[in-house]
Amino acid sequence: MGKPRYLILEDGGIYEGLAFGADLPEKPQIGEVVFTTNMTGYTETLTDPSYDGQIVLQTFPLIGNYGVNPLDKESRRSFVTGYIVSENCGEPSHFGSSGTLDAFLKTQGVPGLYGIDTRSLTKRIRTSGVLRGCFSETPDAISADSLKAWSIGDAVARVTIREPERYTAEKPQRTVVLWDFGVKYSSVHRLLERGCNVVVVPSFWTCGQILAENPDGVLLSNGPGDPEENVQVIQEIARLKSAGVPIFGICLGHQLLALAGEGATHKLKYGHRGGNHPVLDLESRRTYITSQNHGYAVRLDALPPGAKVRYINANDRTCEGLDYTDAPAFSVQFHPEARGGPRDTEFLFDRFIALMDDNTKEVA
């Protein structure tokens, strides 16, 4: 059994549970406390760079029961600030498991907390909205004012790669530049499967550097933080859009593409995180179950010129996808690469392929 560990929240709430994972650093690490509804895919969640600066709460009680498989990792390491589960499974069972969740958290330097009422904490976040918090060994380690004054800041700059990474498809037919704002490996895999050589480039690259790669298309990746903070990136995306290169935006990439067209975003009360979010296609009237992980959304009352709403969230009617009439571009708020989660919308990668092929014919 672990030693006592506390979660302290900015609204004065304190949860006492038990420690697992990594030891706490000397200086309290503050993060946004958010919840995800995924029943599986916890390794993918922990290694999704979009969770940078956040303390992640799993609403499903059975986490860690199938251990950790290195093949499930979505990035080079975990970027989460902390991890909260109902129970700590010390004896996982799965043929692909290489160890326990507790051991994995230790290798990643991520402190965990278990043995609290996770349902109560989830309800608290749904009522109050996302709350800043931190783990501590004592219930009085930090003041509410210190928590309230904290902000994530520079999240994309922390998670992006520093040098380009190149991947070659088995039978290459196209080249895609994947602009890394916190990309998941699954996006790379979905493109390789479709005959695309992939060049993953850092967030601080310019439009000129990207065009020098002579890409057939550009994928704007997912990522963490407030999209409006990425001023330079937004300017470069606007230049790229003007160049006429086919663009596909996912999650943060969707938001940044809208901002590049002078649209606007807003912060959601508690965000959409998990693998069971219904999204309505306004064109086909079909509803898809999607994987999502975001705290911001594009404002429907401030869309960029040339943007047409294609997808909306069936629960709260927020924007889930845009088609552009002034450029070969489209974007979605959800995750069509979907690991772990439903793969209902993986066809969007095929749509991207078709968009690139059509553009090549027009240029020829």
Catalytic residue among 10, 251, 254, 319: 251
| CA–CA separation, 135 and 9 (whole Å) | 9
Catalytic residue among 254, 272, 294, 335: 335
Instruction: State the SS3 of 54-109.
Output: EEEEECCCCCCCCCCCHHHCCCCCCCCCEEEECCCCCCCCCCCCCCCHHHHHHHHC
| Polymer length of the chain | 364
Bridge-based pairing of strands 30-36 and 54-58 is parallel
* DSSP tag of 165: E
Q: Cβ(220)–Cβ(181) under 8 Å?
A: yes
What values do phi and psi take at 46, rounded to 5? -65, -25
What values do phi and psi take at 248, rounded to 5? -125, 120
Q: Please confirm, yes or no, whether 170 is among the known catalytic residues.
A: no
Residues 116, 119, 125, 128, CA torsion sign: negative
Q: Please confirm, yes or no, whether 89 is among the known catalytic residues.
A: no
Lookup result for tokens 């690139």: 356
| CA–CA separation, 240 and 246 (whole Å) | 9
- Angle, vertex CA 194, rays to CA 273 and CA 44, nearest 5: 25
| CA–CA separation, 158 and 305 (whole Å) | 31
Q: Please confirm, yes or no, whether 335 is among the known catalytic residues.
A: yes
Could you tell me if residue 6 is left (phi over 0), alpha (psi between -120 and 50 degrees) or otherwise beta?
A: beta
Active site residues: 251, 335, 337
